[in-house]
Structure 1
Amino acid sequence: MDLGLKDRTAFITGGAGTLGLAIAQRLAQEHANVVICDTNDEALSGALAALEAAGARALACRADVTSREEVGAAVDRARARFGHIDILVNNAGFARDAYLTKMKEEDWHAVLDVTLQGAFHCSRAVLPGMMQNKFGRIINIASRAHRGNPGQTNYSAAKAGLIGFTRSLALESGKFGITANAIAPGVISTPRMRQRPDYHELTERAKQNTPVARLGEPEDVASAVAFLASSLAGFITGETLHVTGGRS
């Protein structure tokens, strides 16, 4: 099935991580240009090499999404290379868990800044071009944690905020042919997750509590991104798609 992504350009933050790279690879399979943005130089080089080895038209940009200047420079590089940015995937983010009474103030700010300030900077940087072209797809990677998790007040607040950001942006930008949606993954099996000492316990719990009895895979989220970025989803905006195997 043709998703209408050929020659579209996607800008993916956190693009050198496991989930970001899976998203880039999935969009590249649909013949989109992909721009991966990250702060890890070594991971960026490896991700770019993997994309190019698979025949993708790809660009790697080092940028801290909490910096307006670095985001602007990365967006300028992407436009210089491919001419336009049609799809933005705000994927950058991480967890720094602790109960609130023990949470460090810097960990509170770090999680919210990357998730929310990053989405703000990146969205504001790409929106003028999308508005001019009367087309755009903004996809924000939230989390099932937006419902609240113990020990994750910072992460849950950030992801809940990202969903509110998505809804407001959808209302603002729809008249320009731009959609804004969020994806809320459940527990996704990544190399970091598999290194956890309780990984086996998590897997067994998922089999017991999730209608689709397994952990999610990065490709599950990447496929959801491809759909929301596609021509098939042009009348879907302001929504949050839970990719949780039915656990919500």
Structure 2
Amino acid sequence: MSTVGIATGAGRGMGLACARRLTRMVDTLLLVDRDEASVTAAAEDLTDSASGAAVEPFALDITDLDGLTRLAARVRETGTLRAVVHAAGISSTMGDWRRVITVDLVGTAMLAEALRPLATTGTATVCFASMAPQFGRLRPGPDLASVLDDPLDERFLDRLHDVLGPAVEDTGRAYAWAKHGVQRFVRQEAVRLGPAGARICSVSPGVIDTPQARQEAVRHPTMGMLVDRTPLGRAGRAEEVASVVTFLLSSEAGFVNGVDIPVDGGVLAALLGQDSPA
């Protein structure tokens, strides 16, 4: 049976770097991005350099339910779902608090729900989270945890605002809670997928030299501070994150499931010390 891979946020940056690796892992690769021009150009580039994989662009906003239904249908008619890289997301400078949480957390849950029926033995997914929850030392109480763990509730954003109050309207704070929600979601989804023989993990990149990170740095000079405090003394490269993602998708990581992997050059260790998460 033909194998199928999906890479979201694949028009540029880390999503594209991961997609390039996926061309060597699957027979057909669906490139997903909201920007149709970018994802079409990326598909053409990967087709020219791919190692045998058929590469198809798929213009889609990750929060579009009808579009996600079409994506799942395309996988079903093409083959067996083998690998998913969910890199699509926005930063705190790219929308208001509602948009940030909707894209980064609700969109993750929507994608997972659409693809869950296609999961089978050997299917592996990697979602992109962030270091932000660790830096913010987020520790939700029971009420907040209950809300975060139900991102598909139609009143999710209102419920989140009820618990967190006006503080959630700060887009940086909203971003941190959204990515914390992604990490929680991955743990729960691992339990749901396990009986099918499928796995899911997340990665939390440090400061990675991408167009989006450079945009963030203009608004947030602390990005430079994080690079300075990174023990390796530099920003990471998209290809380095893609290498970790590729391992997590591979059969060699067949018993790695439901965990978040920092890919940060050691900055969490430097800034949080003994308080950093295991």
Q: What residue number does 2:129 align with? A: 142
1:56-85, Cα deviation, whole Å (9 max, x unpaired):
4211111111121111112212333x3122
Of 61, 73, 92 in structure 2, the residue corresponding to residue 96 of structure 1 is 92
Asked if the contact 1:90–1:118 (Cα under 8 Å) also holds between the matched residues in 2, the reply is no
Residues 78 and 220 of structure 1: is their aligned pair in 2 closer, same or farther, counting only changes over 3 Å?
Answer: same
Q: What residue number does 2:161 align with? A: none
Q: Deviation of residue 110 (structure 1)?
A: 0.7
Question: Are residue 128 (structure 1) and residue 117 (structure 2) matched?
Answer: yes
Of 87, 108, 111 in structure 1, the residue corresponding to residue 97 of structure 2 is 108
Distance in 1 (alpha carbons) for counterparts of 2:266 and 2:69: 38
Q: Deviation of residue 97 (structure 1)?
A: 4.0
Q: How many residues were matched structurally?
A: 232
Q: What residue number does 1:164 align with? A: 184
Amino acid at match of 1:119: T
Q: What residue number does 2:274 align with? A: none
TM-score, normalising length: structure 1: 0.84
Distance in 2 (alpha carbons) for counterparts of 1:124 and 1:31: 22
SS in 1 for 2:23: helix
Gaps spanning 5+ residues in structure 1: where? 1-6, 99-105
Q: Deviation of residue 186 (structure 1)?
A: 0.6
Question: Are residue 24 (structure 1) and residue 19 (structure 2) matched?
Answer: yes
Residues 124 and 212 of structure 1: is their aligned pair in 2 closer, same or farther, counting only changes over 3 Å?
Answer: same
Distance in 2 (alpha carbons) for counterparts of 1:240 and 1:192: 21
Give the % identical residues.
29
Amino acid at match of 1:170: A
Moved more, 30-39 or 61-70: 30-39
Asked if the contact 1:59–1:78 (Cα under 8 Å) also holds between the matched residues in 2, the reply is no
Distance in 1 (alpha carbons) for counterparts of 2:40 and 2:173: 33
Q: Deviation of residue 197 (structure 1)?
A: 4.4
Residues 200 and 237 of structure 1: is their aligned pair in 2 closer, same or farther, counting only changes over 3 Å?
Answer: same
1:63-117, Cα deviation, whole Å (9 max, x unpaired):
111121111112212333x31222222211111349xxxxxxx711111111122
Distance in 2 (alpha carbons) for counterparts of 1:165 and 1:191: 27
Gaps spanning 5+ residues in structure 2: where? 137-169, 269-278
